[in-house]
Structure 1
Amino acid sequence: MCGRFALTASPEEVREILGVIELDGFPPRYNIAPTQPILVAVASPPADPGSNRPDRMALLVRWGLIPSWVKDPKEFTLLINARSETAIEKASFRAAMRHRRILVPASGFYEWHRPSKESGDKPQAYWIRPKTGGIVCFGGLMETYMSKDGSELDTGCILTVGANRSISQIHDRMPVVIAPQDFTRWLDCRHGEPRDVVDLMRPADEDYFEAIPVSDLVNKVANAGPELQVPVEPAPKKQRPASDRSGDGQMSLF
């Protein structure tokens, strides 16, 4: 699952990693939420022979994919994520997997550890970012939806995969991370079939991300400043009665 993320890098940094020439300036965004515009990179249309045009370009799309066959978006579930394991076959994502794969640049994402109701503990938000800093690019999908009046809306979603061991202690899913050396292969929908990029849809390496506990300010879309990423001390866990505790002597990480 990826329901919130941030992009706080400068336009110059984003332009460099994506390999695009034209990219309008934009402010840092600390709390990007579904239905908001997100920056993505797509493969450029075929260029004329001898052209030095870059093979990628940047676009803004609405976060929340709408398949082309949807009749009324108001009655359709908002698709902010797509499970990588089933995206090739599922009707909502099949065409986009074949023809419209994208990159979604981010500085990191937010995730919530949600304890069982029986524990009585509150959910804990985490800011999850690359340990070395910089920009991470998620694999995503794009569709252009045409309404009845002929207007077009570019929409997109982020692919997810089963979490690696470290992130699974917070949540069982994580975004698909595409490494820079794989950008071209991932975006090449003219020559590459979905089956040719299945190997790229895997969990990030164990030491790639670090998870920082943060406050619940991120829960509200209106909160959009750097204070969302200030580390906090996680709330102490409630003590269960001795009769409810496991007798195996093991302690939970959360």
Structure 2
Amino acid sequence: MCGRYAATKDPAALMREFDALDGTDGSGRGPDYNVAPTKDVVTVVQRHPRDADGTPLADEPSVRSLRMMRWGLVPFWAKDPSVGAKMINTRAETAQEKPAFRKALSRRRCLVPADGWYEWKAADGGKGRKEPFFTTTRDGSSLAFAGLWETWRDPKGETDSPPLITFSIITTDAVGPLADIHHRMPLALPSDRWAGWLDPDRTDATDLLRPPERDWVDTLELRPVSTRVNSVRNNGPELVERAEPEPTDLDDGATGALFEVPKQ
């Protein structure tokens, strides 16, 4: 599962790395070392241009762009956006079967750029204490989580009210040493899968839902980090720095502040 990650690159850097236009309209946040659910973050989408009525121009080449979305998918049929808090993750194994994700898997896929993600390993024999770890690339390149997105409009709102754009991160079985920390992980797509995942004309992307290869996973760095990341109030570069295991008596109320990811 994925309940917290870091995303510190500005849109200009992400435009170069993902070969995308900037569609954030200047609303991109600054560096965020502690991205939590319900935050608005940068994602990558690819769509055909649309006419004045919003109809896709299928004959025109699709365009890849950066878009701001809120983490926590709200299905288009939902009556209340609060349901998004329970849909921050989508299991790869069941995405095709779930009504909340099935249509998005076919038509609305995105990439979620990240420096890396946090996961917690049970310590002290699993008696409550958890040690945080940060998984990142060794060369500083971005990870790209596979995501699904939706557009939601308030059924009680005005017709001209802006829509809510939300997304969910797909998770899969952890691979290699990552499984020693937690049995699930975000589905991080190697760069050779980006185009296929984003292709708006591809309605069946189920073959891309497989976990990454062990060789690719072995190129990642898995580092212990400070329990300061447990609290969403903390947000700075020190959160991703390697740290030695801390004493059992945690500060900042860390144990109670740990965000528990809803099970899917």
Q: Within 5 A, what are the aligned runs for 1:107-146?
A: 107-115=115-123, 119-120=126-127, 122-146=129-153
**For 1:11 and 1:77, how far apart are their aligned partners in 2?**
26
Q: In the alignment, which of 160, 166, 172 is matched to residue 177 of structure 2?
A: 166
Please list the CA deviations of residues 44-95 of structure 1 after superposition, one character each: whole Å capped at 9, or x if unmatched: 22477997x7720111011000111111233665211100111011111001
Q: Percent identity?
A: 37
- CA drift of 1:22 comes to 2.5
Rg larger in 1 or in 2? Answer: 1
Task: Go from structure 1 to structure 2 and tell me whether the alpha carbon gap of 1:224 and 1:183 turns closer, same or farther (over 3 Å shift).
Answer: same
CA contact (8 A) 1:99 1:189 kept: yes
Q: 1:81: which partner in 2?
A: 89
| 2:76 corresponds to 1:68 | yes
Letter in 2 for 1:144: T
Q: In the alignment, which of 128, 149, 154 is matched to residue 157 of structure 2?
A: 149
CA contact (8 A) 1:143 1:155 kept: yes
**For 2:100 and 2:58, how far apart are their aligned partners in 1?**
35
CA contact (8 A) 1:5 1:30 kept: yes
| 2:12 corresponds to 1:12 | yes
Task: Go from structure 1 to structure 2 and tell me whether the alpha carbon gap of 1:21 and 1:74 turns closer, same or farther (over 3 Å shift).
Answer: closer
**For 1:149 and 1:29, how far apart are their aligned partners in 2?**
32
SS of structure 1 residue aligned to 2:21: coil
Q: Unmatched 5+ residue regions in structure 1?
A: 238-254
SS of structure 2 residue aligned to 1:82: strand
RMSD: 2.5
User: Under a length normalisation based on structure 2, what TM-score does the superposition of the two structures give?
Assistant: 0.80
SS of structure 2 residue aligned to 1:182: helix
- CA drift of 1:122 comes to 1.6
Number of residue-to-residue matches in the alignment: 233
Q: Unmatched 5+ residue regions in structure 2?
A: 51-56, 249-264
| 2:187 corresponds to 1:176 | yes
SS of structure 2 residue aligned to 1:134: coil
Q: Within 5 A, what are the aligned runs for 1:43-54?
A: 43-46=46-49
Letter in 1 for 2:6: A
User: Under a length normalisation based on structure 1, what TM-score does the superposition of the two structures give?
Assistant: 0.83
